[in-house]
Structure 1
Amino acid sequence: MRIRVVSTKSEIERLNRDEMFVHLAFRASNADIFRLLQRCPQLKAIQVPASYYRTLSQAGKMFLQIHGVTLIEGDVWGHRKDLSEYLIIEEQDLRRISELLSSGMSPEDIAESLCDDMKVSPGLVRFIGETRRS
């Protein structure tokens, strides 16, 4: 699973149209969210840092919800954008989440136990778990 890390507003125009998961590392306005959805019509989820999540407008959150895009609160740890524009969730981690789900563990418990190992936010692990459970 690839998550495109977007550091500036100007990067939105350069995104691939087929991006499905994006981490916004800047404080996005409603206009930025609108442009992002126009640019990436297949978008499934947007992750934003906690401080930015709290300042997103209700209108922006509702707009995402209407378009079926999940908003995830969280950070990416240890990602070096100068090395790669993408944060990669390894297939083995995705399988591990699926196995834990199959064993009856809840997405919340999985997130609590794996987020440090995977170096991603609990919200992202929960999102992966919920999509894998469906």
Structure 2
Amino acid sequence: MKIRVVSSKEEVESLSPNEQIIHLAFRPSNTDILTLITRCPELKALHIPTSYKKTISNSNIMLLEMQGIELIEGDVWGHRKDITEYSEVSQRIYDLIDEYKANGLSEDEIIAKMTREEMHMGSDLLKFIIKNRK
């Protein structure tokens, strides 16, 4: 799974319409979120830092819900934008999820275990990955 990292408002206009998960490294305005939804019709999730999530208006949260777009809280650790625009979830994460499921762990137990193991992923993103795992 690739997460497109967007670090400025100016980058929103250059996004591919095929983007499915976007991490915003800037505090989005109502207009920025509306532009994102319009520009990226296949968007499944918007990943933003905790401090920014607190400033998202209720109307934007409702709009995202109506569009079927999940608002995920968290950061992208260790990503270098100068190397690539995308942060990628490693195969190791998927392998661990599959292993834990095979051992009978519940979704909540998997999230708690992987968070304790310091996977450098927030629980919201882990929950999204588990839910959308095919």
What TM-score, normalized by structure 1, do the two folds share?
A: 0.91
- Aligned counterpart, 2:98: 98
State how far apart, in whole Å, the 1-side matches of 2:106 and 2:129 are: 12
CA separation in 2, counterparts of 1:50 and 1:108?
A: 20
The 5 Å alignment of 1:2-81 reads 2-81=2-81
**Percent of aligned pairs sharing the same letter:** 44
Deviation at 1:122, TM superposition (A): 1.6
| Aligned-partner Cα distance in 1 for 2:70–2:98 | 20
8 Å CA contact 1:15, 1:39 repeated in 2 = yes
Deviates more, 1:10-19 or 1:87-96: 87-96
Deviation at 1:46, TM superposition (A): 0.7
How far apart are 1:84 and its partner, in Å? 1.1
Matched residues in 2 for 1:126 and 1:77: separation? 17
Q: Which region of structure 1 is more displaced relative to structure 2, 107-116 or 80-89?
A: 107-116
The residue aligned with 1:127 is: 128
For residues 67-97 of structure 1, give each alpha carbon's deviation from its aligned partner in whole angstroms, at most 9, with x where no partner exists.
0001001111111111111111122322321
RMSD: 1.6
Distance change >3 Å, CA 33–CA 59, structure 1 → 2: same
Q: CA deviation at 1:106?
A: 2.4
In the alignment, the residues of structure 2 paired with residue 49 and residue 34 of structure 1 have an alpha-carbon distance, to the nearest angstrom, of 18
Distance 1:80 1:108 in 2: 30
Q: 5+ residue gaps in structure 1?
A: none
What amino acid sits opposite 2:121 in the alignment? V
What per-residue deviation string (whole Å, max 9, x for no partner) do you get for residues 19-71 of structure 1? 10110111111111110011110000011100001111000111000000010
Which residue in 2 is equivalent to 1:83? 83
Secondary structure at the aligned position of 2:13 is classed as: helix
Gaps of 5+ in 2: none
